[in-house]
Structure 1
């Protein structure tokens, strides 16, 4: 039955995606609704619902105003499991559709295409319910003012939870008979949103906010299993990146231990795809064993970045290998043919969550052989009873060294076997019905992935990573810019309509700066300056901090400014760090000052809720940190790469890299730090020793050395 369901679903999506839109009327005709003309994969997934969906826009709200109806807004994304569940139970159901079409104007929004809409109403959900999630269902007035919000709603009442038909009926009744209650709700919510959107600028403080974040992260840390908090457990790579910087600044062995322990636990757990690599969205348990199976591009980028930085801090090859595995997954599964990266892989296939990824012992033995199959099952923790609905999510709870010792085999021999098992199982798995791939290319997520690939290359990763990073940037500049240079948020099938947001500009700036640092090519520095100028022009406004939306874009309710980190770092936090770094590289005081002003705008919130503002605190750390300036003069590409690789293997927050023309002595490097410039050196080895000496001089003796290999 699952196979039939999966085949039917694939055929349904194929029919939608390949429909001849030029032959359809504006309302989609008999087979489709208006979403058939959308560019978002998520909206297209709902294009054959019986619900009379609209995209977000004036047409829908004008109809609501004219017909005096409330708006039913549903927000989700293409690889969201519970969005699929509600779509199949309710939005594809004629009974539910009849109620929505009679009493409401229904709007569907892709949160990844329109983060401004999602952010606005997710704040409402947190204000009204104390939490949020997707699908996010909101009832609005025709003025876009919210008065009801809920996440997943079953079609019929169960377990004390009212069903969607019942809820919609109640809302329609209140709309007709007690409109004053709705008006009161709207006013109270808008007042709260205005207060939340008001920044309270302060002076650049000392180090106390950094200590406050460290204390809270320690309180959240799971000492038994790694990670922060209990189930469900997310990778939270910003926590790791912050702790690595804290450790380097203060010589804190506990901070680096939390970071490295978490990465090790993730790599060995079921949240990490043990044969195809890459990170699943989160673990439903507190031991990283059973994941929620979707794979998001931004998770790959941020965890890979954290793993590279942990390698730079510790020298542990295991961490560099982890970053390489994640990035190789992205290159294999998410790379678009003409450059850039797709957004995500679904959790579901053949109508079941996780079906693509799980194994039975019999399947493993049939693929790798009877004798080796037993060993493979023991290594990847595959049992007859299973750990997920009668099958097994693979994990590697015992290190290869310990496992080899326990089994009486050599480590080298075991590693060869593991690599062979992975290839055999992956080849078999690729013959299964694959999860849906969201082929939307999002600017901000690609910016973060470019940064991860460039940093990995700098730290010793292969050339394929820098090639992919450069191709992604070229794709963005070719296909995600409109005439005049304005960035788009995303494209799908070559189409994009939504202007990019602050997070897109700031994340792309982060990626372009990483490309510059990996190559020292002037074109990337020029592009970073252009991005920074456009970002400041488009997103500055009255008051402190940058707006989340451009001054040329529509406003949902309020033109917000926020520095809370979500699933990706906040746009303001990324912008602050990027502007400070860029200003120091090009000696532009205005860029540096702009970055400092962003930190000032949000430092009060960061001080009171530090773990919600870690990207802003990393920008603060950058402002407070001693600058280490490395100037490389002359040299060919090979010599330059050797010098940059020596730098890239070290963790030096506050590093400023510059390039000068060749001098009379050929290729040289000089380092300036702590008020003094050292004599020039002419070889990568000399540069490495010089950097190590400076790190030891300007940072406290760190217990990170206890983790360093060799």
Structure 2
């Protein structure tokens, strides 16, 4: 019999709708039930593509005896972390404070007032590897709630006070060139010279750090950051973390060498990496960079695009209950598809061995060199077609998350402009239309939708910031004023509703549901923090409009991450990348002319080909009514399309040729 989750819109919650656990969604009603029945709340947080979430569900939440104990002693609440990042952030802070580590599935036990007194992640169904069984944990917690209530209440109160009082050390000085240069030196000291990337296993794609390194190289001309970024981007693109058949990156590598991924594919990773590889191609990444851009864009369009034009959140790691089954191969399987000669050649090219690089003698596909690209292109198509026809495709979490779609809009629009691929721009436009038509409710932005219907949860800071960022980039590419106007409204809402008294920003709005603590974290994780994302949008908006308010807000927010940037630059990469744009600019290029004029198109393409981190491009017709400040008053030169380049509110004379514009941007 389905439980209350059968009415949910989240695919993750719906996966648990047939559990014998009497799950509640996060709601006031659940906590009212806990108070009325004097039971603690068992909060379980995960997401649809999470492998160990599936394991724990199968072992424990589908077990009748375990579910019966949970139902008798707890009010059980299931949360999709992607739908409620605010709830996830608060209780992940508690989990890391109490255990020293975090992750999903996350299991937290709360008082009926929402204060946590126990936290952990995955628990097995039987004692294993030094971990107690989940049932043992439940029994101990139920006993503590019954027999040691004073102790439990004291612990919960202390943790609640800790969460409410936690603050980040704030720098008193701006995030200046010395801090950025020091961060690059720290990153170089943490660099894995053998494998690329930073640190050891598990190894995550450092998208935001790579963007910083590319921008720093472009601004300063230094070779070291360019080399660190290029070697890492090469290693990822040639490793097993990248899907060599259909494009797109897996969530992370379980080893240091990018060989064996955790196979889930997330929209936020692929949108960020699409942008980074586009920028690398622009800075000399060559054929490899261009290939990865096109294949990753193709993955987004073919695998994650929804019927409504948005982009789904993720593809699952598992198929038929086995992680990686869709992606791994044996030499015999490759030979069966391609024949003896081509199969042996392809297996060698892809590092598919008898010993295997994954489990059960299977191998992930790696492409460590470009050997006979024409032959490989034909065989790749045959392998991909066979895989699609004969293997169970990974399940898709088809909810549309506003923030991650903002990342996709920006990446596809820019890739389309840089590589002259109009299909990418069209896809960005369609996703932006969905965000505006479905996710915008008056001046409120809603976080998720599914099947074209918006969910009830309010957008958090990252949603407002990344959607605004995506719309500003889309406006720059298309010239359509509506995208700019919507971005402007989102930024105004962010400045009014999310601002903190000290100049930084909260992750939830001032009218959002009150939790045990108001989340506020400027550090980047798998995707940019809300604050660092907002800084990027504010800097771009200020460059286009000349708004001192937006520029000042961006620079003040950057001051708040100075200490983080000095101590842990790997978690401040997106803020440091924004600082590169501030230090380099604004560098504004306004191109005026008829969009159908080849001269106008060539000037716009030249502007987009520049890798200057402070560059902002605007294009439009001359003397258009209601033009943005960057375009206002700009006219043709001798009847020809013209480009106006300005730095720090000082403009060069307009130019009409590609060569002149390229020289000004050098």
Q: Which moved more, 1:620-629 or 1:101-110?
A: 620-629
Query: Could you tell me how far 1:251 is from its partner in structure 2?
Result: 2.7
Which of 644, 647, 655 is the aligned partner of 2:607? 647
Match of 2:209 in 1: 239
Query: Could you tell me how far 1:504 is from its partner in structure 2?
Result: 0.3
Match of 1:665 in 2: 639
Cα distance change, pair 391–476 in 1 and its aligned pair in 2 (3 A): farther
Unaligned runs of 5+ in 1: 1-30, 404-413, 693-710
Cα distance change, pair 676–140 in 1 and its aligned pair in 2 (3 A): closer
Match of 1:84 in 2: 54
Match of 1:276 in 2: 246
Partner SS for 2:645: strand
Which of 570, 577, 585 is the aligned partner of 1:611? 570
Query: Could you tell me how far 1:461 is from its partner in structure 2?
Result: 4.2
Q: TM-score, with normalisation over the residues of structure 1?
A: 0.88
Match of 2:301 in 1: 331
Cα distance in 1, alignment partners of residues 502 and 317 from structure 2: 42
Partner SS for 1:286: coil
Cα distance in 2, alignment partners of residues 240 and 670 from structure 1: 30
Cα distance in 2, alignment partners of residues 614 and 239 from structure 1: 4
State whether structure 2 residue 393 is matched by structure 1 residue 423. Answer: no
Which of 548, 566, 575 is the aligned partner of 2:525? 566
**1:204–1:600 contact (8 Å) kept in structure 2:** yes
CA deviations on 1:78-129 (whole Å, 9 max, x unpaired) are: 0100000000000000111011011111000000000001111111111111
Cα distance in 2, alignment partners of residues 195 and 604 from structure 1: 18
Cα distance in 2, alignment partners of residues 524 and 495 from structure 1: 20
Match of 1:507 in 2: 466
Partner SS for 1:359: coil
Match of 1:691 in 2: 665
Query: Could you tell me how far 1:198 is from its partner in structure 2?
Result: 5.8
Cα distance in 1, alignment partners of residues 434 and 652 from structure 2: 41
**2:403–2:466 contact (8 Å) kept in structure 1:** yes
Query: Could you tell me how far 1:306 is from its partner in structure 2?
Result: 1.1
Cα distance in 2, alignment partners of residues 155 and 92 from structure 1: 11
Which of 651, 654, 661 is the aligned partner of 1:680? 654
Match of 1:575 in 2: 534
State whether structure 2 residue 320 is matched by structure 1 residue 343. Answer: no
Cα distance in 1, alignment partners of residues 119 and 420 from structure 2: 46
Q: TM-score, with normalisation over the residues of structure 2?
A: 0.94
Cα distance in 1, alignment partners of residues 449 and 36 from structure 2: 33
Query: Could you tell me how far 1:635 is from its partner in structure 2?
Result: 2.2
State whether structure 2 residue 328 is matched by structure 1 residue 358. Answer: yes
Partner SS for 1:184: helix
Runs of 4+ in 1 over 6 A off after TM superposition: none
Q: Which moved more, 1:382-391 or 1:548-557?
A: 382-391
Query: Could you tell me how far 1:361 is from its partner in structure 2?
Result: 1.8
Match of 2:631 in 1: none
Partner SS for 1:546: coil
CA deviations on 1:263-293 (whole Å, 9 max, x unpaired) are: 1000100000010110011111111111111
State whether structure 2 residue 444 is matched by structure 1 residue 486. Answer: yes
Match of 1:255 in 2: 225
Which of 585, 589, 603 is the aligned partner of 2:544? 585
Q: What is the Cα-based RMSD across aligned positions, in Å? A: 1.8
Query: Could you tell me how far 1:592 is from its partner in structure 2?
Result: 1.4
Cα distance in 1, alignment partners of residues 596 and 568 from structure 2: 45
CA deviations on 1:610-662 (whole Å, 9 max, x unpaired) are: 32222222233333334322121222245343322212222011113334434
Cα distance in 2, alignment partners of residues 676 and 436 from structure 1: 53
**1:199–1:544 contact (8 Å) kept in structure 2:** no
Cα distance in 2, alignment partners of residues 152 and 358 from structure 1: 26
CA deviations on 1:318-368 (whole Å, 9 max, x unpaired) are: 212212211111101000112110010000001101111111222212222
**2:505–2:531 contact (8 Å) kept in structure 1:** yes
Cα distance in 2, alignment partners of residues 158 and 42 from structure 1: 26
Partner SS for 1:340: coil
Q: Which moved more, 1:292-301 or 1:121-130?
A: 121-130
Match of 1:371 in 2: 341
Partner SS for 1:534: helix
Q: Which moved more, 1:524-533 or 1:302-311?
A: 524-533
Query: Could you tell me how far 1:245 is from its partner in structure 2?
Result: 1.8
Q: Which moved more, 1:559-568 or 1:200-209?
A: 200-209
Partner SS for 1:316: helix
**1:56–1:109 contact (8 Å) kept in structure 2:** yes
CA deviations on 1:492-522 (whole Å, 9 max, x unpaired) are: 2324110111100101111112112223332
CA deviations on 1:227-268 (whole Å, 9 max, x unpaired) are: 111111111111101111222233321111110100100010
Unaligned runs of 5+ in 2: 624-634
Cα distance in 1, alignment partners of residues 43 and 597 from structure 2: 55
How many aligned residue pairs are there?
649
Cα distance in 1, alignment partners of residues 512 and 339 from structure 2: 59
